Amino acid sequence: MQKDDLIVIAGGGGFIGGALARYFKDRGFTNLRAVDIKPVDRWYQTIEGVDNVPNCDLRLRENCYRICEGRPAEVYNLAADMGGMGFIELNKAACMISVLINTHMLLAAKDAGTVERYFYSSSACAYNTRMQQDPDVTALKEEDAYPAMAEDGYGWEKLFSERMCRHFREDFGLETRVARFHNVYGPNGTWDGGREKAPAAISRKVIQAKDTGSGEIEIWGDGEQTRSFMYIDDCLNGIDRITHSEILEPINLGSAELVTINRLVDIVEQLAGVKLKRNYKLDAPKGVRGRNSDNTKIRQYLGWEPDLPRFKAMKRTYPWIEEQYFARKAGKVTVT
């Protein structure tokens, strides 16, 4: 690519999309278009010099065609109605409607005639849930998405959209690349309101308990459920590498470092310098029992995998959430 080639980022007002716009800007790309359904004052990041397009609903076909005007060379589709497990379990229909975004974005990218690479952000929620019933889970390999039994709603939308990308590549020659994200977190991300992932939610709860002196924290489930969590910098690096590789199949993009929710609370307590009583809410949304990323293929293809240890990643994330918490308490507008 040339540095002045047009790059379109759908979902550019979101956590990962905003970080991706900054990533490309920092690498000298000068023609970036970030698009989001939210008004610009609710974007997680706005990058100087980027063509920001707010209030743009990409479920509508005409909007997808509009943002693909101007001869784009690459399109990154990170737009979706999604959040943490609390949001996903209670908003299945809203999550599935996002299938319109990828369908219309693929059509617009194909018809633009200039798109050299199209990246789609899928999710580990596309994996067969029957293989994720034990906290001591066997790490999920790419082929474990079939036979299909994805996370209801959100996971099925992701799995269907993966197939759309495959067939647009096979039938129309659009060079599509797909990564299955495993729980991305870090500064400038969602930390409150129901859409946040566990590292941010736990950080907020610990900060609040410390601030109020309650001495307690509520944990969804029994705390023994397991996940892998990927720091945002590893995610951006992986998106870049996968998009510009010759990997044709959907591939895991996540840390292989498995952790229980209880252990994650331990880490945040250590960073905060507190020890809290744990109240387990067993009827809360908690998703599958265990999920981890098998990184064999990404290592084979790229000689690389997400590798920032969780303690170091949380050490970078926790202070930012603490800053946001006290800024909001002081009446300032913050990222939520």
Q: Is the residue at 335 inside a domain? A: no
CB 231 within 8 A of CB 262: no
What pLDDT is stored for residue 199 in this prediction? 95
Q: Is residue 77 part of a domain?
A: yes
Do 29 and 93 reside in the same domain of the chain? yes
| 117 and 208 part of one domain | no
149 and 11 within one domain: yes
Q: Which of 85, 94, 249, 251 is nearest to 157 (CA)?
A: 94
The counts of H helices and E strands in the chain are 11, 13
Q: State how far the Cα of 121 lies from the Cα of 240, in Å rounded to an integer.
A: 12
Q: What is the pLDDT of residue 263?
A: 96
| Of 118, 120, 127, 154, catalytic | 154
Mean per-residue pLDDT pooled into runs of 10, the chain (336 residues)? 96 97 97 97 94 98 98 98 83 95 98 98 96 93 97 96 98 98 94 90 97 96 94 98 98 96 97 97 89 97 95 96 96 84
Task: Tell me, yes or no, whether 158 and 14 share the same domain.
Answer: yes
Domain contains 249: yes
Quick one: DSSP state of residue 129? G
Q: Which CATH number is 320's domain given?
A: 3.90.25.10
Helix H or strand E encompassing 312: helix 310-329
pLDDT of residue 283: 92
d(CA 265, CA 22): 30
Same domain, 98 and 202: no
Block residue for tokens 């900060």: 207
Which phi and psi (to 5°) does residue 258 adopt? -80, 140
Residue 298 counted as domain residue: no
b/e code 55-84 from CB counts within 10 Å (16+ = b): ebebbeeebbbebbeeebbbbbbbbbbbbb
Residues 177 and 193 in one domain: no
Single out the residue of 70, 47, 67, 42 nearest to residue 57, CA to CA: 67
- Rounded to whole angstroms, the Cα distance separating 125 from 81 reads 14
Q: Which domain holds residue 21?
A: 6-184+231-253
Dihedral sign for Cα atoms in the order 35, 38, 40, 42: negative
**53 located within any domain:** yes
In a domain, residue 303? The reply is no
**What's the rounded Cα separation, in Å, for the pair 37 and 57?**
5
Residue 123, domain CATH: 3.40.50.720
For 152-177, b where at least 16 C-beta lie within 10 A, e where not — what string? Answer: ebbbbbbbbbbebbeebbeeeebbbb
Note whether 61 and 113 are same-domain residues.
yes
What is the pLDDT, as a whole number, of residue 238?
98
Residue 54 located in a structural domain: yes
Compute the distance between CA of residue 319 and CA of residue 79 in angstroms, rounded to an integer. 27
Q: Judge whether 334 lies within some domain.
A: no
Do 320 and 236 share a structural domain? no
- Residues 52, 194: one domain? no
Are 210 and 322 in the same domain?
Answer: yes
Report DSSP letters for 92-107, one per residue.
Answer: HHHHHHTHHHHHHHHH
Long-range (24+ apart) CB contacts under 8 A made by 221-224 are 221/261, 221/280, 221/281, 221/282, 221/284, 221/286, 222/280, 222/282, 223/260, 223/261, 223/262, 223/265, 223/278, 223/280, 224/135, 224/260, 224/261, 224/262
Question: What pLDDT was estimated at residue 123?
Answer: 96
Angstrom distance (rounded) from CA 238 to CA 247: 12
Tell me how far CA of residue 255 lies from CA of 131, 159, 310, in angstroms: 18, 21, 9
Q: How far apart are CA 252 and CA 297, in angstroms?
A: 8
Q: How many domains does the chain have?
A: 2
Q: Is 154 a catalytic residue?
A: yes
Residues 95, 191 within the same domain: no
Residues 26 and 127 in one domain: yes
